[in-house]
Structure 1
Amino acid sequence: MKLLATSLDAVKPSPTLEITKKAAQLRREGVDVIGLAQGEPDFPTPKHIGDAAKEAVDRGLTRYTDVDGTPELKAAVARKFKRENGLTYEQNQISVGTGGKQVIFNALRASLNVGDEVIIPAPYWVSYPDMVLLAGGSPVELPCTAEQGFKLSAQQLRSAITSKTKWLILNSPSNPTGAGYSRDELVALASVLVDHPHVHVLTDDMYEHLRYDGWEFNTLASVEPRLYERTLTVNGVSKAYSMTGWRIGYAGGPQELINAMAKIQSQSTSNPCSISQYAAMAALDGQLVFLVERNDVFRERRDLCLDTFNSIEGLECRKPEGAFYLFPSCQGWIGRDTPGGARLNDDMAVARYLLEQARVAVVPGSAFGAEGHFRISFATSTERLRDACIRIRLASQQLN
C-alpha cells in the first residue's frame, strides 16, 4: 500500500531548492553569498510591539486562546479594517491564523471541491497554485506580462471565468513583482465579477503599507460594496511591522466561510501563539509613523537596484508600486554562454550563474509562473544591495 497521499503527486518541488541548497553549501564553506531571495524586512519589530509581548508574558497570558483568535485581537482587526479600508466586520466575520498562509489555506480547504477552478494571475506568489491543488481544486494561471504592468485585465478575467470558477486570487501589491492595482483597475475587474455571482474573491493585501511614489492602496471589497459578501480580505502583520517570525495573519469575510475555516484550524494547529496575538494587537492599534522612514529607505533601495538593472545589457525591469521586490526580465541573457562555456538556457540557469559567478542568490521567475525573469528582495541593507548590484553587473559583462 502506498504510504503518501496521491494529492501530493500534483505538488511540484520548489524550483528554488537547488539554488537554496547551493547557497547554503557555499556559506558553510565560508563564501560570501549575498542573499536576495528571502522576502523579509531587515528592520526590527518596533519596540512598542515587543513591549506588548513582554507584558503579555509577565501577565501570564500564555495559555490556549479561542481557536481563531482572541476577542480582543479580533476587535483590533475589525478596527483596522474600518479605519484603514472602510470595511465593517463583526467578530464572527474575522479569522486569525498562524500567518497569512494558514488563513489562505484554510479558506481554500474549506471551500474547494474537486473540479473547482481558482483563477490566479501570473506572476504569483509561489504557494497559491499548490495550495489550490492540495485543497482539491484546479489552478487556472493567467499570464500577465510586464507590458500590462504584471496585472490582470478585465478582458482576461471575463474570458477565463467558467461555470466551475470558485475563486479569483488577487494580490496587490504583488509578490513577486510589486505591481499594485489602481482604483480604476479594480473597478474594471469588479464590473466583471458583479456579472458572475458564483465567483468569490480572495484579496491578499499583505503588502498594503509598503508603497511608493504616492501610489494609493485600495482593496476590492471597499471599491465595490456589491462584492463584500463574497470577498475574503486577507492581511497580516508580517511585512509592514517586521513580524515575519511572529506568525499572525487575519482575514475578514462571510461568516459561513469564517466558521468553516475555524473548524479546519481547530483540527490542525488550533490557536495562534497567544503572545504573538497580544503583540499583533499593539501593532494594529499603534501608530504607523515608523513606516514613513522605512518606506523611504525601501524606495531608495528599490531605485538603486532598478537603475542598475535597467542599465545592464540583457536585463529590463519595471518599477513596482509597492512591496519590496524587483522582477527583472533576463530574456536578454537566455542563450548566452558563461565564461566556463555553459549555455544559459532558462531563468534557472541564470539564477545558478548569478550564484556561482556573482555570489548573489536570486529566485528564478519560473517559480512564480513567469519564465525568463528572476526576483530579488531589496529588504536588505543598502550596502549589501550596492555590492550585489556591482557583482551582477560584473557577471553580465562576462557573458559571451
Structure 2
Amino acid sequence: VRQKALENQLIWLPRMGLFTEARELMDVARAMERNVPIGPGAVTQFDEVFETGYRSMVENIERASAATASAGSDDGLDDEDESDDARLVACLERLTESLLVIWLEHSRTLRLSVLEKVRKKDNWEELVQFIQTYGSDLFTQKFLNLGNVRAIMHQGAGAWLQQLKNNPIAEDHFRLVRDLDGPISLREAEKHMTLILEAIVENYNEYRDYNSTTTQSDRGDMLYTLFDFLRLRVAYDRIVWNLKPIVLAHEILVRRGRNEAAQLWRRALSERISEEADQYLRRLSDLQKKYAMRMPSVADRLGERFLRTMIIDRMRALVEPAWKQAGEPEVCHSFEILEEECTLLLKEPTGSGLDAPPWLTALEEEIESIQQHARLGDARYIDECLAPRYPIDLDDVEDTLDDWQ
C-alpha cells in the first residue's frame, strides 16, 4: 500500500509541474529504503518507485516541449523542429544527470549476479584453485544437470557435502570428500560450491551455450573458463543497469513519436560510451585468445555496445501503429519500417541458436501487451481520469532544473 501510494504521487506531481516535489519524494523513498535493515545485495522495490517517478517526469517534459513548440508555431515563430528536439534533449539530459545520483547510489547496494562476489582478484583466484583441484571428477555435465543442481541448492550445499562426507562410497569418487576437514574445511567447500551452483542456475542458458560450442566443457576442472567469460558479461551488465534511466528516456521518446529527439539521444550516448564499449570488446578478445574458445552469447551481448536495447525499443514502438494500420487500405509505413529493421537483425545471427533472439522475444511481448490492453483496457486511461494534466511550459521546467544545480 505504501509503495503504491508513493508511485501514485510520483505519477501525479509531475503532471502539475511539481518536479522538485517529485524529486524530493524520490529522496524520501530512498531514505526509507536505507533505514530498513535488509542487508547488502537485497532485492528492494525502489527500482519500481524510481522508474515510475522518472518516467512521469520525462513524459511530462516531452509534453511540455510539444506544447511549447505548438504555441510557437501558432504565434508564427520560425522555430525549427531541430531546435525543439535539441532543446528537449538538453532538458532531459539535465534531468537525467540530476536523478542519476539517486539511481547510482541505489545501484551500489544491489547485487546483480552471484559472480560479483569474485570481482576481486584474490576471491577469483581462490575459486579458480578450487575448480582446478576438485572439478575434474565433480563438475561433470551429468552432475551440472539443472535438476540435480537445484536439488542440491534446495537442501543446501553444506548439508549435501555433509551427506557425502558420511558416505564411505563417496570418498572413492570425489577428491573433495576425501579432503574435507583436511586440506579444505567444510565451510570453505560449502562457500565455493554454493557460488558455483548459483552461478550455473543463474546463467544456465550460457552454460548450455558453453556445453554445445566448446571442448573445455568436457573437463570439469576447466569450468572456471566459463565463469571468466561470465564475469566479463556481468561487469558489462552492471553498466547497462546504471544506464537504465537513459534507456528509459529513449523508450519514452520513441513511443511518443519524437524520433529526431530519440536519434539525438542515441547519438549522445554512443559518443560518450563508445570507448567503454571498445574496452569490453578488447577484454573479450583477450579472453578468447587466453582460453582458445568463444562464447557466442557473451560475444553477442558485448557486441551490443550498450545500444541494442534502444534499437529494440524503437522496434517495439512501431508495433502498435502497425497493428492499428493493418486493416487500412493505405500502405502501412510503420509495418514497412518494422519489417526493414527485422530484416537487418536477421542478417546478424545471435547466440548458439538454442534460444530465440532477444529482439524477437521483445516483439512478441509487445504484441501480447497490446492484446491485453485491448481486452482489459489501459491503466493509463484510469490515471488520466484520477489526475488530469496541468498545462506546463518548457521554460518553467528549465527554471526548475536551474534551481537543482
Q: TM-score range by the shorter chain?
A: under 0.3
Larger radius of gyration: 2
Of Structure 1 and Structure 2, which has the larger fraction of its residues in strand? 1
TM-score, normalized by length of structure 2?
Answer: 0.23
TM-score, normalized by length of structure 1?
Answer: 0.23
Of Structure 1 and Structure 2, which has the larger fraction of its residues in helix? 2
